[in-house]
């Protein structure tokens, strides 16, 4: 299976929520998250628990644990690409407000992919 292209979503103001979130994490967590993103690129739809899981409404999560803290990066698929919207820490379940935010960002991306694609 060919690699899946992973795209980081850009907000309307040009910021990249995932990169902003990653920058705020420790180096250890950041590196674990990067490895998980690389696994998403390698496996795409085939990536399963414990590395990834489906949440709801086309939103998936990349799963990382460091110590006793659970880190999640939310994403969706569009035209065969994995679009990562943002990251968060969680205790129990991913809060509905975070999934709803990912859904809003997914809709914005699908309406204007070029405007909402982060470019390095």
Q: Which residues contact 80 (CB under 8 A, 6 or more apart)?
A: 4, 5
On the question of pLDDT at 109 being above 80, the answer is yes
DSSP bridge partners of 7: 83
Q: Which two tokens stand for residue 112?
A: 């204007």
pLDDT tens digits, 30-83? 999 999 999 999 999 999 999 999 999 999 999 999 999 999 999 999 999 999
Side-chain-side CA neighbours of residue 3 (13 Å): 8
Q: What is the CATH number of domain 6-111?
A: 3.30.2310.20
């Amino acid at each position: 299976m060919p690699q899946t292209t992973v795209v980081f979503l850009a907000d309307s103001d040009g910021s990249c929520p995932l990169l902003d979130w990653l920058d705020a994490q420790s180096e250890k967590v950041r590196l674990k998250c990067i490895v998980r993103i690389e696994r998403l690129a390698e496996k795409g739809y085939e990536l399963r628990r414990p590395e990834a899981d489906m949440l709801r409404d086309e939103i998936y999560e990349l799963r990382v644990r460091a110590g006793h803290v659970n880190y999640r990066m939310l994403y969706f698929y569009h035209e065969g690409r994995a679009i990562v919207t943002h990251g968060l820490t969680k205790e129990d379940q991913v809060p509905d407000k975070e999934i709803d935010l990912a859904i809003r960002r997914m809709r914005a991306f699908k309406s204007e992919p070029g405007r909402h694609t982060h470019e390095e």
